[in-house]
């Protein structure tokens, strides 16, 4: 196999003034291989100033540069009419690359004495709303230009929207064309991480979390350090998290740290999945998937833990009893389901309270995590009560695990030894300030256990401490279950300390 060449990461710079652009370009050169100067982000006065000093500006750059002046309808920062863009680019650039949209490329092709050097041109098309139905035709129109490199960036709503993007990469590879193909948005992150290994000319990475110039842009430092894009090749094992949402998860930090420490050629990627059946059929199942990739395993989170069971070839006995799968192993042509949540949850709890036999335990929630908690507590001989808002839905779960059932509203947990939050309430994001119970309800309980791990300090835990309860966060459980997932995917025992350190560091950087 040929040696893997270093992935080219382009860092876009989008600033309102020329001075700020120059300063940001210096920072970008520290983490990227190319720098995209987004001239459309400049004010009109600053752009005129930059245009007059363009040769001087470019001569100071020690990295390859992509010059961009994008119109608003293609995601640009300003309103630049076609004639203005034509005059800007109709000059003999001697530095690296220029990014020209298809409409402008078509106009320039019609000019007899055009000064554009097409060997430096990236001909691009952007759609910030969707994956257009005529994507193939758009590719063919781009390919009909003399441009050296083709670029297509479309908005992904689901990870399956990456499929047409990957297919364009494959077509370009067969046809001997250089291409940049990106699925934007959180659902398109896989295209940014895997694109270069599938023939993409480069991938874009931001300077930081808040400086991206397109939805879903991953910081350049994370592409290189967390996802190790330079090491990804056609044989790399692909693993990842399927759920919705997944952007809050620190699982990529945990699993990728373990892959790096054990020197396993694999990567863990967040996959935002809305249409579960379509994902399993079109991307996961080896017999039906449309993507040629070395998919080895998946971690499953809300809301798919129960629904995924019907789409698997076999489900481990414990997972079947629980009624929820959080781990999928792909073994040749088979999808195998496991549950590592229950054992991880109980192990973390027993480290704190010891023997659970006879303990009076409350579980809040009725989803996959609640099922794992009820099964695990029951296996230890604890008495369980399920609290939920929707009693009709929860009654099926309570009956399955022989738990008492009570309404969550106006409930009291005074009589319980352990209270477990198995809902997503308190998770970083829109739910961050929500809690299933407040201090007045929790007073008298011995230990309050929140399975939410991000943030590590949830409102539920703050309410519990205000009530005088002992508290336990979800990080230990998260790492415990991740360790077992890694074993199932690789057959290797990872270092718990490496994974815990990665998790703690990721949370401290949130």
CATH number of 241-339+479-508: 3.40.50.10860
The SS3 assignment for 145 reads coil
219 CB-near residues (< 8 Å, 6+ apart): 31, 205, 206, 207, 208, 209
Average pLDDT over residues 68-97: 82
305 assigned to active site: yes
**What average pLDDT does range 411-426 have in this prediction?**
96
Confidence (pLDDT) at 44: 83
Q: What is the largest CA-CA distance in the chain?
A: 87
Taking the C-alpha atoms of residue 436 and residue 425, their distance in angstroms, rounded to an integer, is: 7
Res 183 pLDDT > 60: yes
Structure-model confidence comparison of residues 208 and 66, the more confident one: 66
What the block records as the tokens of 390 is 């929707």
Domain ranges for the chain, please list them: 9-234, 241-339+479-508, 342-473
So what CATH class is 342-473?
A: alpha beta
**Which residue shows structure tokens 């894009």?**
229
- As a CATH number, domain 9-234 is 3.20.20.70
What does the angle CA 322 – CA 328 – CA 331 come to, to the nearest 5 degrees?
130
Whether the per-residue pLDDT at 210 is higher than 70: the answer is: no
Q: How far is the C-alpha of 156 from the C-alpha of 165, rounded, in Å?
A: 10
Residue 510 has a pLDDT of 66
Distance CA 496, CA 250 (A): 15
Tens digit of each residue's pLDDT (9 = 90 or more) over 313-350:
999 999 999 999 999 999 999 999 999 999 999 999 99
Phi and psi based region of residue 75 (left: phi greater than 0; alpha: psi -120 to 50; beta: remaining): left
List of residues 6+ apart from 425 with CB closer than 8 A: 431, 434, 435, 436, 452, 460
238 confidence band (pLDDT: 50, 70, 90): very high
Q: Which of 67-71, 152-156, 217-221 is the least confident region?
A: 67-71
Please answer whether residues 304 and 275 qualify as being in contact, where contact means their C-beta atoms are separated by less than 8 angstroms. Answer: no
Catalytic residue (one of 4, 83, 151, 305)? 305
Closest of 270, 233, 250 to residue 159, by C-alpha:
270
Q: Return the structure tokens found at 26.
A: 């210096």
281-322 confidence digits (pLDDT tens) = 999 999 999 999 999 999 999 899 999 999 999 999 999 999
C-alpha 458: how far from chain center = 22
Whether residue 465 is predicted with pLDDT greater than 70 in this model: the reply is yes
Give per-residue pLDDT as tens, 107-122: 999 887 878 889 999 9
pLDDT exceeds 50 at position 387: yes
Fold match between 9-234 and 342-473? no
Q: What is the edge-to-edge ordering of all strands in the sheet holding 121-127?
A: 178-184, 149-155, 121-127, 97-101, 65-68, 34-38, 9-13, 203-206, 218-219
What does the pLDDT read at residue 212? 62
Per-residue pLDDT reduced to its tens digit, 131-166: 999 999 999 999 999 999 999 999 999 999 999 999
Would the pLDDT of 125 be above 70? yes
pLDDT for the residue numbered 211? 64
Three-class DSSP category at 405:
strand
**Bigger pLDDT: 48 or 477?**
477
- Over range 100-105, report the average pLDDT: 93
Indicate the average pLDDT of the chain.
93
In which band, very low, low, confident or very high, does the pLDDT at 1 lie, cut at 50, 70 and 90?
Answer: very low
Residues 447-461: tens digit of each pLDDT: 999 999 999 999 999
β-pairing, 327-331 vs 334-338, is antiparallel
The gap between the terminal CA atoms of the chain, to the nearest Å, is 39
**DSSP-derived 3-state class of residue 459:** helix
The better pLDDT of the pair 60, 242 is held by: 242
Cα 181 to Cα 150: distance, rounded to the nearest angstrom: 8
Distance of CA 372 to CAs 59, 102, 297, 378, Å? 61, 53, 20, 10
């Amino acid at each position: 196999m040929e040696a893997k060449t270093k992935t080219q990461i382009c860092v876009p710079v989008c600033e309102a003034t020329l001075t700020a652009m120059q300063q940001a370009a210096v920072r970008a050169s520290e983490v990227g291989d190319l720098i995209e100067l987004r001239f459309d982000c400049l004010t009109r006065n600053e752009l005129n100033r930059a245009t007059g000093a363009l040769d001087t500006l470019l001569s100071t750059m020690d990295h390859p540069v992509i010059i961009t002046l994008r119109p608003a309808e293609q995601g640009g920062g300003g309103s630049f009419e076609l004639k203005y863009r034509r005059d800007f680019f109709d000059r003999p650039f001697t530095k690296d690359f220029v990014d020209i949209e298809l409409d402008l490329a078509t106009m320039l092709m019609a000019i007899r004495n055009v000064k554009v050097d097409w060997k430096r041109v990236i001909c691009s098309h952007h759609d910030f709303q969707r994956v257009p139905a005529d994507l193939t035709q758009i590719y063919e129109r781009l390919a009909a230009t003399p441009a050296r490199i083709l670029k297509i960036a479309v908005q992904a709503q689901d990870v399956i929207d990456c499929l047409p993007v990957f297919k364009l990469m494959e077509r370009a590879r067969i046809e001997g064309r250089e291409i940049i193909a990106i699925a934007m948005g959180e659902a398109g992150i896989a295209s940014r991480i895997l694109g270069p290994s599938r023939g993409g000319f480069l991938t874009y990475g931001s300077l930081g979390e808040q400086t991206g110039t397109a939805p879903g842009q991953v910081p350049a430092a994370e592409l290189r350090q967390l996802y190790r894009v330079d090491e990804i090749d056609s044989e790399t094992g692909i693993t990842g998290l399927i759920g919705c949402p997944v952007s809050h998860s620190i699982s990529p930090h945990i699993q990728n740290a373990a892959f790096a420490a054990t020197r396993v050629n694999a990567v863990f990627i967040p996959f935002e999945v809305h249409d579960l059946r379509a994902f399993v059929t079109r991307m996961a199942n080896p017999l039906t998937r449309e993507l040629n990739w070395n998919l080895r395993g998946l971690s499953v989170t809300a809301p798919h833990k129960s629904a995924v069971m019907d789409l698997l070839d076999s489900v481990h006995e414990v997972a079947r009893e629980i009624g929820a799968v959080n781990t999928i192993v792909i073994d040749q042509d088979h999808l195998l389901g496991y549950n590592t949540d229950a054992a991880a949850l109980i192990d973390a709890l027993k480290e704190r309270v010891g023997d659970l036999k006879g303990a009076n335990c409350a579980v809040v929630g009725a989803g996959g995590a609640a099922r794992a908690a009820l099964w695990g507590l029951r296996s230890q001989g604890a008495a369980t009560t399920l609290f939920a808002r929707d009693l009709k839905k929860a009654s099926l779960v309570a009956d399955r695990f022989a738990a008492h059932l009570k309404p969550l509203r106006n409930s009291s947990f005074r009589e319980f030894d352990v209270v477990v939050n198995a809902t997503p309430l308190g998770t970083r994001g829109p739910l961050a300030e929500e809690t299933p119970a407040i201090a007045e309800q929790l007073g008298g309980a011995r230990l309050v256990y929140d399975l939410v791990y991000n943030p590590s300090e949830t409102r539920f835990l703050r309410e519990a401490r205000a009530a005088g309860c002992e508290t336990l966060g979800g990080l230990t459980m998260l790492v415990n279950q991740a360790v077992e997932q890694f074993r199932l995917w690789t057959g290797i025992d990872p270092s718990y300390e490496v994974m815990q350190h990665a998790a703690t560091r990721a949370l401290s950087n949130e």
